[in-house]
Amino acid sequence: MTLDKRLGQRFLPYGANYLAWSDMSELREVVEQKVLFRYQTESESMASRLERTVADRLGAAHALAVHNCTEALRLCLISTRPSIGDVVYVPAVTFVAVAGAVLSCGLIPVLVDADESLSMDPTLLPPDARRVVVAHMEGTVARVPRDVPYVIEDCAQSLGARLPDGRHAGTAGYAGTYSFHHNKVLTSGEGGLIVTSDREAWARMRSYHDHGSARVPGRYPTWDADAHYGENFVTSEEVAAVQSQQFRHLDEVLAGLERMYAIAMELLPDRPDLRVLPRAAGDAKVSLRFRWESRELRDAAVDALTARGIANWTLDKYLLPDHPVLKARRSLYADGFPWSHAPDRPLAVSRDGFARTRDLLDRTLCVPLSPELPEQEQIVAAKTVCQVLEVV
């Protein structure tokens, strides 16, 4: 396979490039023990070990492993003990799973417009906001609002990123959620994590994620007299084992991204019609984000990069005001639940009806970086991207 082909279309996410049988000691241990359910192990489960590692690494008091990040968001929201129809302020620019998690809890998403970085603009939040989901998209650390009782940080695309004060993204608010989906910093195909420093919140989440039980490892679940209902979001030992292997490479992945980002920033073409969106020191440098002077130039760049086999993507699909799930307000419930409980007021906060945000998205293009490559190959990859952009 030629170097140009290897540096082109990225079929694997960042962490997947570090998957290797020779490095899967945790998975081998789980298979050799022949117990794949986390609450049936005789000693500490792999899932518990993963949670302890995550909490220590990210500076949180508690962690909980679940099936995916959407479940993680749901658990965080449910643990706030809301009422049906309560509103949750969510970014206008994010994956639809955020709104889906809110709706599946019987709550109502209110879309909040973006700032120049395409993150939620917290200055638009009303003073009485109680529940807010902040999404750290594309490795970019968003501003976290203050004086909101329940701020949930969605770090699905930003594992390892740090806030300006040095804390890890996901640890500044009520709780933080992370994803191990295929196209994330680390991957186990699917998988989610929650961190929180609120012990009572963690206890509610842990109980709800296992049918409302008071689980003792190695035994059938029991229920306290005041138990509430729950669901089954319990992760398995083999998934936790893959995630543990991936977590061992987090610093390596982040360092490789930082190195290639620095290389690319030195090589990028100097064009008056092209601007590179700057990344803060704490951002996870998962990609280069370009903003063109017009959508026509952006689309021409997409065509040119794609023709060379260089992976790239646009962000138009993340604009939730235009997403059919939000626009149509359809529901599988006959009575339209939970939309039937929506308050009688606008469910969006924007200064201009999202016109500015649409324009920014129309002109934005992302190119992923390759942390697993040696430095010399990263240089070649960055030069290839720059050569294509120079002639658009």
* Spatial distance between the Cα atoms of 368 and 288, rounded to a whole number of angstroms: 6
Lowest-pLDDT range of 85-89, 151-155, 183-187: 183-187
Instruction: Identify the bridge partners of residue 289 per DSSP, sorted by sequence position.
Output: 366
Q: Are 240 and 47 in contact (CB under 8 A)?
A: yes
The two three-digit tokens of residue 239, written as one number: 């998934």
How many residues comprise the chain? 392
Q: How confident is the model at residue 96 (pLDDT cuts 50, 70, 90)?
A: very high
Domain spans of the chain, in order of start: 15-248, 251-319+354-390
| Per-residue pLDDT at 247 exceeds 70 | yes
| Per-residue pLDDT at 3 exceeds 80 | no
Catalytically active residues, by annotation: 184
Average pLDDT, whole number, for the chain? 95
Structure confidence at residue 10 (pLDDT) = 52
* Spatial distance between the Cα atoms of 160 and 48, rounded to a whole number of angstroms: 20
pLDDT tens digits for 348-385? 999 999 999 999 999 999 999 999 999 999 999 999 99
Q: Please report, rounded to a whole number, the percentage of residues in the chain having pLDDT higher than 90.
A: 93
Structure confidence at residue 1 (pLDDT) = 38
Checking DSSP bridges between strand 192-196 and strand 175-179, what pairing results, if any?
Answer: antiparallel
Average pLDDT over residues 283-288: 96
Structure confidence at residue 330 (pLDDT) = 94
Taking the domain 15-248, which CATH number applies?
3.40.640.10
Structure confidence at residue 384 (pLDDT) = 95
| Per-residue pLDDT at 5 exceeds 60 | no
**Residue with the larger pLDDT of the pair 175 and 182:** 175
pLDDT tens digits for 201-234? 999 999 999 999 999 888 899 999 999 999 999 9
| Per-residue pLDDT at 307 exceeds 80 | yes
Domain 251-319+354-390 has CATH 3.90.1150.10: yes
Neighbour tally for 36: CB within 10 Å: 16
The CA–CA distances, whole Å, from 2 to 6, 7, 309, 381 equal 6, 9, 12, 12
Structure confidence at residue 9 (pLDDT) = 45
Q: What is the pTM of this model?
A: 0.95
pLDDT tens digits for 47-82? 999 999 999 999 999 999 999 999 999 999 999 999
| Per-residue pLDDT at 8 exceeds 70 | no
> What 3-state class would DSSP assign to 174?
coil
Q: How confident is the model at residue 256 (pLDDT cuts 50, 70, 90)?
A: very high
* Spatial distance between the Cα atoms of 78 and 231, rounded to a whole number of angstroms: 11
Average pLDDT over residues 9-36: 89
* Spatial distance between the Cα atoms of 52 and 177, rounded to a whole number of angstroms: 15
Structure confidence at residue 213 (pLDDT) = 96
| Per-residue pLDDT at 268 exceeds 70 | yes
Distance of CA 379 to the CA centre of its chain: 28
Q: Please report, rounded to a whole number, the percentage of residues in the chain having pLDDT higher than 70.
A: 97
Q: Where are the alpha helices (DSSP H) in the chain?
A: 3-6, 25-33, 46-58, 69-78, 97-104, 199-208, 237-247, 250-267, 295-307, 324-327, 355-362, 375-390
Q: Give DSSP secondary structure letters for 118-162.
A: SSB-GGGS-TT--EEEEE-GGGPPPPPPSS-SEEEEE-TT-TT-B
Residues 202, 15, 91: CA angle, nearest 5 degrees: 55
| Per-residue pLDDT at 11 exceeds 60 | no
